[in-house]
Amino acid sequence: MSKTYIIGDVHGMFDTLLALLNKLPSNANIVFAGDLIDRGSKSAEVVKFVRENNFACVLGNHEDTFIKFFKDFFNGMKWEELLNKWEMWLFLNGGIETLDSYNFMEDTKDNPKILNRIKSDLEWMQKLPIFLELDAKHKSGLPVVVSHSNITQVWHLKDDKEAFNKFRETALRTRDLTCKNCGILNIYGHTPVQTPTLESNCINVDTGCCYNQERFGKLTAYCVEDDEFVFVSK
């Protein structure tokens, strides 16, 4: 039987991702914990690869920002306004690297080939789920739920329409790693750790593959059935 591997934040590190996948079984069920893009130099390649292989993935905060940036762009926002509004994403959080990977710049913004590729990826990203409940069996017996950030503290709100925004923002952006026993095993990323953390019913698989190896510099996959981690350094 094929086994399920949850992969942490890739952040445009396409070569590192391929190296990790080479260490996994060829028939593995692959699930990504979001943040495929930004910071690394090959975000477009990562998205293309994940889409072409029909791998499962949840929405990350970096995909969410990518969607919002291009919503402004396609709504006609001027280049100077885009740079001003999205300065933090572009220059501090890896947005420029992502735009470069799509060959998107001010003087190529009318290139139909580039724009059609971006539009296609945008449509795909907009359909990514906030969380995924998996069929994979864990030794704990708990249902396995993958999200980008720790959602154990808001899991009880997942079906509350009035609290959807709170649930969504927590799932995409919380840095609170406090693990609440809520009847699920939550596997997530978003906040880099030097070593994957396993606390009760929470597992953080973001080991900061896009950062300096002295601090982080590893991409991690977690095998649900075997309760084992697989690492590769960038």
| Model pLDDT for residues 122-157, shown as the tens digit of each residue | 999 999 999 999 999 999 999 999 999 999 999 999
CA nearest 150: which of 100, 115, 202? Answer: 202
Q: pTM for this one?
A: 0.96
pLDDT for the residue 214? 72
pLDDT for the residue 197? 77
Say if residues 9 and 34 touch (Cβ distance below 8 Å): yes
107 has pLDDT over 80: no
Flag whether 152 is in a domain: yes
Flag whether 183 is in a domain: yes
185 has pLDDT over 80: yes
State mean pLDDT over 35-43: 97
pLDDT for the residue 198? 81
Residue range 200-233, pLDDT digits in tens = 899 999 999 999 777 789 999 999 999 999 999 9
Q: Which amino acid is at 16?
A: T
What phi, psi does 74 have (nearest 5°)?
A: -75, -15
109 has pLDDT over 90: no
List the domain range (segments joined by +) for residue 139. 4-60+127-233
Say if residues 206 and 13 touch (Cβ distance below 8 Å): no
Flag whether 113 is in a domain: no
Flag whether 70 is in a domain: no
Say if residues 140 and 179 touch (Cβ distance below 8 Å): no
Flag whether 105 is in a domain: no
199 — pLDDT class (breaks 50, 70, 90): confident
Copy the structure tokens of residue 182.
């809520």
Flag whether 83 is in a domain: no
Flag whether 161 is in a domain: yes
Task: Give the span between the Cα atoms of 192 and 202, in whole angstroms.
Answer: 14
In CATH, what number is assigned to the domain containing residue 178?
3.60.21.10
Give the range among 15-24, 76-85, 108-117, 171-180 with minimum mean pLDDT: 108-117
Copy the structure tokens of residue 168.
């969504």
In total, how many domains does the chain have? 1
Flag whether 170 is in a domain: yes
1 — pLDDT class (breaks 50, 70, 90): confident
State mean pLDDT over 25-53: 98
pLDDT for the residue 80? 94
